[in-house]
Structure 1
Amino acid sequence: MNPYDEIKRGEKGAWVSISAYLVLSALKLIAGYWFASGALVADGYNNLTDIVASLAVLIGLRISQKPPDKDHRYGHFRAETIAALIASFIMAMVGIQVLISTIQKLIAGNEETPNVLSAVVALFSAVCMGGVYIYNSRLAKRIQNAALQAAAKDNLSDALVSIGAAIGIFGSQLGLPWLDPVAALFVGAIICKTAWEIFYSSTHALTDGFDESELMTLRQTIVDTNGVKLIKDMKARVHGSQVLLDVIVQVDPMLTLVESHTISDEIERRMKQKHNIMSVHVHVEPLAAADTNAARPAGK
């Protein structure tokens, strides 16, 4: 399956998330205000930011499906990353607002004991988001889509946040009304933490950062390719949900052009089969005499 078909399938996960967040955010906000639960209201606003984040992922997936053109020779895959970056700013703004409003209530001493039904709503939401997480996680692994994997992690954190809100509400029923706003502070902190993680990963990708341990894994696959004597240089960068790989390998100088090209084709095939990397630029050079000691044993 080509990357564009995979991205198209990834849209299903984004729509599932958006639908769940629309229903649950409305339910939490209504129940939170009706039953006087700050934690549930904060969780509702958390889900509102998730709607924006999921919409950003969906828009990014749509734009990234555009084929390469004269201005975008590598395609439009980075639209996913830019959309996620925008979503992180919106999530941070909402998270900070939740923290500020909750702290103001704590200082003012406006602590109310919420109705126990608000805890039931929170637990119901946790179960729903747990189901969405399982669906998106399995779909992301099946199609190997990084954007959908990030969305699945967000689904899981939302389920945990709802459990935290329920704990705060139940605690207030035991004569500890301050537990509900404390749970709201926890939710606000989770929103800000998630926003920071999305911001960091997005900017890291946009500045061509690449995980060193993953690069070593890719390097090992190339080193194990029959005919490769030495890797002279290797670079990788993230382009949306795709990885672009450039590598210079040295081979036996006695090989013909056709034989060297066969090694290049084998590297591309192994990268696609083992790591789902579609764009691999392989440059083949003859092994210099000075590099013989650094090369792998002959026959490899």
Structure 2
Amino acid sequence: MYGSSDVQGAGTRGTTGHEMRTIQRAGFLSIVGNVVLFGIKLAAGLTSGSIAVVADAWHTLSDSISSIVLLVGARTARKPADDDHPFGHGRAELISTVMIGTILGMIGITFALDAVERLFHHEGAHYTDFTLWVVGFSILAKEAMAQYAFAVARKTGYSSVKADGWHHRSDALSSLLLLVGILAGGRFWWMDSALALGVSVFLGYTSYSILKEAFSPLLGEAPPEELETRIQEVVRRTQPEGPDIHHLHVHHYGRHTEVTFHVVLDGETSLRKAHEIVSVIEQDLRRELGLEATIHVEPFETWKDRQLRRRARSKEPPADPGA
């Protein structure tokens, strides 16, 4: 979820109208291109009796389903916050990413079972020149679609568009595997089922990668050390003395990110002054990192007593609280 480029300005930012149009364009192009490729690959698979090519065709059609899910998820994620969803609908994008990964995994399992059944029945395939040309064209077309999706993902920051790009890439690579197998081993009756199993394994791995990336922020991943350091730097400008912040939690809601943490202030600080200090910190975090912060103020004396009790329980000598 996080990368070094995600720390700066990775928090609260809405999707602009131009970005939404770019995502929609990518989705519509993906749907049309995949439907066309599905038709010619299915024809090639049926005429040659190749379950591997048919599996690859359905893999391609699944990209269209993924693109539809992508468009629906992106539109839902753009909806503003309401009474029932005070943090917005940003996680709809992650949910659509999970759906894309799940679809891919189900297709992989289905064709793996079909390939095993054909192995048991000694069923082969008879490849033609038409099959070779269709698979070769599909490789080039799908890689071009993948590159376009990756470019849109970099521009908009949408993980579901990136997942759609990996879906295209997986299709291109599975077609490449088919092409190599057809050229190298078309004489062996078992080659088609072996290729179908290879495609299924690749689909499963791609599904796992997509689901892992989506589930991590949904379940609540720990913030990267770089982000913690940046937050601490912002706090230090206002609070140069005293302990570091603690109890830092980061919550992602798509493009909206909330952070909560504790800051330690002198126990004699007035309520008005404490409010002024945390307000400055919240404004700086919003302006510099795009984060919406909720800060809990803890008196220095309370923090010190807790640290001393913790050290006593662990039988370690107490450290300098101000270090």
**TM-score w.r.t. structure 1 length?**
0.83
Shift of the alpha carbon at 1:156? 1.6
1:192 maps to which of 204, 218, 221: 204
Note the 1:78-157 alignment, pairs <5 A: 78-157=91-170
Residue range with higher mean Cα deviation, 234-243 or 285-294: 285-294
Query: Residue 18 and residue 70 in structure 1: after superposition, are their counterparts in 2 closer, same or farther (change >3 A)?
Result: same
Partner of 1:223 in structure 2? Answer: 232
Partner of 1:29 in structure 2? Answer: 42
1:209 maps to which of 198, 220, 225: 220
Work out whether residues 62 and 103 of structure 2, in 8 Å CA contact, stay in contact via their aligned partners in 1: yes
Shift of the alpha carbon at 1:73? 0.9
What 5-or-longer segments of structure 2 have no aligned partner? 1-11, 308-318
| 1:247 corresponds to 2:265 | no
Work out whether residues 100 and 163 of structure 2, in 8 Å CA contact, stay in contact via their aligned partners in 1: no
Instruction: Write the distance in 1 (CA, Å) between the matches of 2:123 and 2:153.
Output: 44
User: Once superposed, which parts of structure 1, at least 4 consecutive aligned residues long, lie more than 6 Å away?
Assistant: 252-255
Partner of 1:266 in structure 2? Answer: 284
Aligned residues: 286
Work out whether residues 41 and 135 of structure 2, in 8 Å CA contact, stay in contact via their aligned partners in 1: yes
Query: Residue 295 and residue 133 in structure 1: after superposition, are their counterparts in 2 closer, same or farther (change >3 A)?
Result: farther
Work out whether residues 93 and 159 of structure 2, in 8 Å CA contact, stay in contact via their aligned partners in 1: no
Query: Residue 245 and residue 150 in structure 1: after superposition, are their counterparts in 2 closer, same or farther (change >3 A)?
Result: farther
Once the two structures are aligned, what percentage of the paired residues are identical? 23
Instruction: State which structure, 1 or 2, has the greater radius of gyration over its C-alpha atoms.
Output: 2
Instruction: Write the distance in 2 (CA, Å) between the matches of 1:251 and 1:8.
Output: 47
Residue range with higher mean Cα deviation, 191-200 or 41-50: 191-200
Higher relative contact order (CA 8 A, sep 6+): 2
Instruction: Write the distance in 1 (CA, Å) between the matches of 2:103 and 2:251.
Output: 26
Instruction: Write the distance in 2 (CA, Å) between the matches of 1:280 and 1:293.
Output: 32
Aligned-residue CA RMSD in angstroms? 2.7
What SS class does the counterpart of residue 283 from structure 1 fall into?
A: strand
Opposite residue 220 of structure 2, the aligned amino acid is G
Query: Residue 270 and residue 252 in structure 1: after superposition, are their counterparts in 2 closer, same or farther (change >3 A)?
Result: farther
Shift of the alpha carbon at 1:8? 4.8
Shift of the alpha carbon at 1:270? 2.0
Instruction: Write the distance in 2 (CA, Å) between the matches of 1:127 and 1:89.
Output: 25
Query: Residue 15 and residue 244 in structure 1: after superposition, are their counterparts in 2 closer, same or farther (change >3 A)?
Result: farther
Query: Residue 280 and residue 113 in structure 1: after superposition, are their counterparts in 2 closer, same or farther (change >3 A)?
Result: same
What SS class does the counterpart of residue 3 from structure 1 fall into?
A: coil
Instruction: Write the distance in 1 (CA, Å) between the matches of 2:63 and 2:73.
Output: 15
Shift of the alpha carbon at 1:141? 1.1
Q: Kindly provide the CA deviation profile for residues 21-73 of structure 1, in whole angstroms up to 9, marking residues without a partner as x.
A: 11111121111112333322111111122222221111111222222111111
What SS class does the counterpart of residue 124 from structure 2 fall into?
A: coil
Partner of 2:74 in structure 1? Answer: 61
Work out whether residues 178 and 195 of structure 2, in 8 Å CA contact, stay in contact via their aligned partners in 1: yes
Work out whether residues 101 and 210 of structure 2, in 8 Å CA contact, stay in contact via their aligned partners in 1: yes
Work out whether residues 170 and 203 of structure 2, in 8 Å CA contact, stay in contact via their aligned partners in 1: no
| 1:180 corresponds to 2:192 | yes
Work out whether residues 37 and 115 of structure 1, in 8 Å CA contact, stay in contact via their aligned partners in 2: no
**TM-score w.r.t. structure 2 length?**
0.78
Shift of the alpha carbon at 1:284? 5.6
Work out whether residues 171 and 179 of structure 1, in 8 Å CA contact, stay in contact via their aligned partners in 2: no
Instruction: Write the distance in 2 (CA, Å) between the matches of 1:15 and 1:247.
Output: 42
